[in-house]
Amino acid sequence: MKNPIRLFAVIIVFVLTAILFTACAENVAESPTVKCYNGTFVGSKENGVLSFKGIPFAKAPVGELRWKAPQSVEACNETFDATGYGKIAFQPYASSEPVSWNPENMSEDCLTLNIWTTGDTQKKKPVMFWMHGGAYSYGSAIDTLYSGQYMVEEHPDIVVVNANYRLGPLGYIDFTGVEGGEKFPTSGYNGLLDQIEALKWIQQNIEGFGGDPNNVTIFGESAGAGSVCALLVAEGTEGLFQHAIAQSGGLNFTYTHENFARYDAANLLLKKANASCVDDLLKLSEEEFFEIYLDESDGESLSYLTYAPLRGEDSIIPEDPYQAVLDGAGKDVDLMIGTVADEYNYFIFDLLNPSVEEEGHVLSEETKNAFSKYMLDGSVDRFIGKCTEEEQESIKDFMALYSDKEEFWQKLALMTEAGFRSPAIKLAENHIKAGGTGNTYMYYFAKKNTRFDWIGASHGCELPYVFHNFEDEQELVSGPVIHELADQVCGAWVSFAINANPSYNGVKWPAYSLEKRETMMFNDDGTTNIENDPLSKQRELIVPLMYHYNGL
């Protein structure tokens, strides 16, 4: 070649290209790949944990499938990137949700799941399927709080899965009595059906990720725990899971047609959309629907309403789900259930987002008055209003147990007991009385959030402990995490999934019995112990009244 400089340049380019090609080929070769029924998915690897994100487990519920039961995915031989999360369900803003609120990351096409595993397929591993909370209106499977990365790093012998499901009026709305509503008979519980469809996908595909389809634990918190409990009694869930963990949520998180009518979301949606029937609503674009969902220009907003799965003869959930448990529904499923000490305090933060000045200090009178007016007083009045005069005497006796506190804090304690702990105890009692092969375990989590003196151990504060997640942004939920306690909590949850028994690291956790009511206490100082029948007086006074709370 006449020009040696050009020859040298050509050689350099060739060598660099070869190196780059080799590196890319090695990266592709190292990328974890799993073939599933609906495609081959290429994930990523971090600290020895393989993750596969954004995998569709059902057809996109869009167009004519809006407000329809989820449809199973179709067979596919294509290869898909699974290194990034999928879109999340449409939802309004919530200050307490860890995930950044971004409408561009929301879509009706949200039915995807995420998987964390070590990838070892030589031994089938227990599968833990998480259902996020958020009052059936908020939350998602992409929240860093719910990442399975840390659980699998700590306990490589499990596979962790979580999923998005439809929320709010797309997942839970009652079209009974609305023109055209008869064509959408599952509209009141589609979010629950989404979760069932995800479990069916797990049955069909999880072995490729090293999971055991015959050893599945469903677990969730708040609305996620409500879903766990609903699946215990729902039709069509037989064989989909063997163990269940319900954290701060129960069967009382369900609605009848009458409960839906009190909010009347269906007719409010028709009004805001200037529609006369459900078919008109199908014509709305995603953008139009979301705008209507958040609209409050007329003083009314669909996003202010509460949503929950429908129960009764038009649902897969029985009219009286507690009786269904007593009659044997879920009797052979091992159940762990529990609550935190100050559940209801969470909603002060969730609804009002108290100022930074209140961090670490006594809650201001202004905030207490605002919360009382906005939520607390109405909730207490509705509960008491359903009680007989004799039952109201029990409530007075309950309040007397907290006579050293002002009325505001007494009411919060009442709502924690009536809305969370007593329903959990009632479910545990009925599960035991049903006489199946499934064991029952009870816990009580009392580690306070030291970031806010006034919030105590509030709703959701155990989540970083369960997921062994020490990321800084999670301190808003629980305060600084005690690592040793997280080791024990996470280990107990995993042991329950593996062994159907949460005893772990030398800490014995006996099954709950009606005679002793053995309860695992996760204490404020980070210690653990078994206590028989904690807060027995509160239980005796309120368990008989818990049917008056929420939709029951």
Write down the mean pLDDT value for the chain: 91
Q: What is the number of other CB atoms lying within 10 angstroms of the CB of residue 203? A: 17
Q: Between these two residues, 521 and 94, which has the higher pLDDT value?
A: 521
pLDDT of residue 94: 80
Residue 28 reports pLDDT greater than 80: no
* Percent of the chain scoring above 70 in pLDDT: 91
* pLDDT at residue 100 in the model: 62
* DSSP structural state of residue 74: P
Tokens of 3: 């020009």
Chain centroid to CA 517: how far?
Answer: 26
Q: Scanning the structure block, which residue is given the tokens 């259930």?
A: 337
- Token code pair at residue 165: 């499901």
pLDDT confidence bin for 14, thresholds 50/70/90: very low
What's the CA gap between 157 and 127, in Å, rounded?
9
State the DSSP H helix or E strand holding residue 44, giving kind and residue range, or none if neither. Answer: strand 44-46
**477 or 255, higher pLDDT:** 255
Order of strands, edge to edge, in the sheet holding 44-46? 44-46, 49-56, 112-117, 159-163, 125-131, 211-221, 243-247, 334-340, 440-445, 518-522, 528-532
Q: Angle between the 407-416 and 377-385 helix axes, to the nearest 10 degrees?
A: 60
In this structure, the dihedral spanned by the alpha carbons of residues 56, 59, 60 and 61, taken in order and rounded to 10 degrees, is -130
Identify residue 337 by its one-letter amino acid code: I
Whether 78 contacts 32, CB under 8 Å: no
Q: Give the tokens for residue 464.
A: 């970083």
Residue 492: CB atoms within 10 Å: 26
Write out the two tokens for 501: 């028994």
pLDDT of residue 506: 95
Residue found by looking up tokens 């064509």 in the block: 183
Please report, as a single letter, which amino acid is at residue 392.
Q
CB atoms within 10 A of CB 210: 23
The mean pLDDT of 483-494, rounded to a whole number, is 98
Which residues are annotated as catalytic? 222, 343, 459
Return d(Cα 238, Cα 499) in angstroms, integer: 20
> Which three-class secondary structure state does DSSP give residue 507?
strand
What are φ and ψ of residue 429, in 5° steps?
A: -60, -50
Asked whether the beta carbons of 116 and 152 are under 8 A apart, the reply is yes
Cα–Cα distance measured from residue 152 to residue 47, given in angstroms and rounded to the nearest whole number? 10
d(CA 326, CA 430): 5
Query: According to the model, what pLDDT value does residue 261 have?
Result: 92
| Residue 178, Cβ density class (10 Å: 0-12 exposed, 13-18 middle, ≥19 buried) | buried
Query: Which DSSP helix (H) or strand (E) runs through 129?
Result: strand 125-131
Residue 388's CB: how many other CB atoms inside 10 A? 10
Question: pLDDT band at residue 24, thresholds of 50, 70 and 90?
Answer: very low
In the prediction, which pLDDT does 120 show? 85
Place of tokens 């078919």: 279
For 160, the token pair is 């962790």
Region 431-450: what's the mean pLDDT? 97
Residue 497 has pLDDT above 60, yes or no: yes
Q: Which residue has the higher pLDDT, 182 or 351?
A: 182
Q: Who's near 217: CB < 8 A, 6+ residues apart?
A: 126, 127, 128, 129, 241, 242, 243, 244, 245, 496, 497
SS3 54: strand
